[in-house]
Amino acid sequence: MQRDIFTSDHGAFRDMVRSFIAKEVAPFHEQWERDGVVSRDVWLAAGQAGLLGIDVDEQYGGGGNDDYRYYLVLNEEMARAGAHGPGFSVHNDINGQYFRRLMTPEQAQRWMPGYCSGQLITAIAMSEPGAGSDLQGIRTTAVRDGDTYILNGQKTFISNGQLADLVIVVARTDSDAGHRGISLLVVERGTAGFERGRNLDKVGMHAQDTSELFFSDVRVPAGNLLGPEGGGFIALMQNLPRERIAIGTAALAGAEAIFETTLEYCKQRQAFGRPIGRFQHNRFVLAEMATELAVARAFTDKAVLEHNAGRLSNEDASMVKWWDTELCNRVVDRCLQLHGGYGYMREYQVARAFADGRVQTIFGGTTEIMKEIIGRGLGV
């Protein structure tokens, strides 16, 4: 369907992103799947292409463009290609917002050039073995000691965890202050006491390194505090809507791509002397999916424009995340069924999407948490 939220500049950028994926990502993704991690070369190539730090000031090597739609185009094309290995969205849509909003000028000078060039890969460490969606349950502690914080704790399910050079760690700096005692500290690669655990063996997204992280008496310079001490929880709440719309829009783009390939398959695949798409049941399934995707697209694009204007509410971001990720799972499941036995073969994109997409209703806040946020917004 025609989308009127983009300009010709966005179209040119989309063409560039597709060329980048065809050259720098697609030929290597299967190997990355086997390795469980992407090459750092793709990060450097992304930096060279201007795909990292699009909204970062030009003095640090960024694009100086705060139009979210450029990130949207990048995320959509990566999703359409099934290129889940490079964690660009974690770097750009999640971590980048914390850095941009909270960094001091000195921190920006230290970190932003490498952030934009791809030399410094970033991660954010929120989830713990006993604390996922409940951020107030964080147990990792950071105790001030002179000009350092002594950091102790454990994190899990950390995207970019093996490759990350800078990790934003959510830690409790005041155990008696509730959510006001949570702060953000940036831990740098090679810091004594900072250890990476295993690269987690997941159902899908095998090329995306996802790790356990361990902090044992890690001395983090006070100059690596990101934002004010005790301001971490508020920063998390402010940035989560951006994370959620990024996840939702990518899920919808991925669902649309799988639907398009399935529609063509149904026009070509023959059974009982005719294309399988001409059987009434299959035709109805395709009609249902086309309608659901069109309705989701209309709502999602409206939300994108609201986000771009700085007006998107937490409730609406949660709606996008919930609806689009659940829809993606439903669409991909039905598309796999329409492929029959071939749909279960990993050589078909639908099979890989079936495994890769399942986590989208979990990370960034589960569907149940999204409904809770929406319900509270209704006053109930």
- Is 243 a known active-site residue? yes
Characterise 364 by phi-psi region: left (phi > 0), alpha (psi -120 to 50), beta (else). Answer: left
List the one residue out of 236, 187, 180 whose CA is nearest residue 216: 187
Cα(348)–Cα(371) distance, integer angstroms: 33
CB hemisphere CA count around 292 (13 angstroms): 22
- The answer to whether 177 and 230 have CB atoms below 8 angstroms apart is yes
Identity of the residue numbered 137:
G
Amino acid of residue 258: I
Q: How far apart are CA 71 and CA 19, in angstroms?
A: 16
Asked whether 98 and 235 are in contact (CB, 8 A), the reply is yes
Active-site residue identified among 76, 128, 229, 243: 243
Cβ atoms of 49 and 22 within 8 Å: the answer is no
Closest-CA residue to 80 (of 253, 242, 215):
253
β-sheet bridge partners, residue 196: 213
> What is the Cα–Cα distance from 246 to 96, expressed in whole angstroms?
13
Instruction: Supply the residues annotated as catalytic.
Output: 243
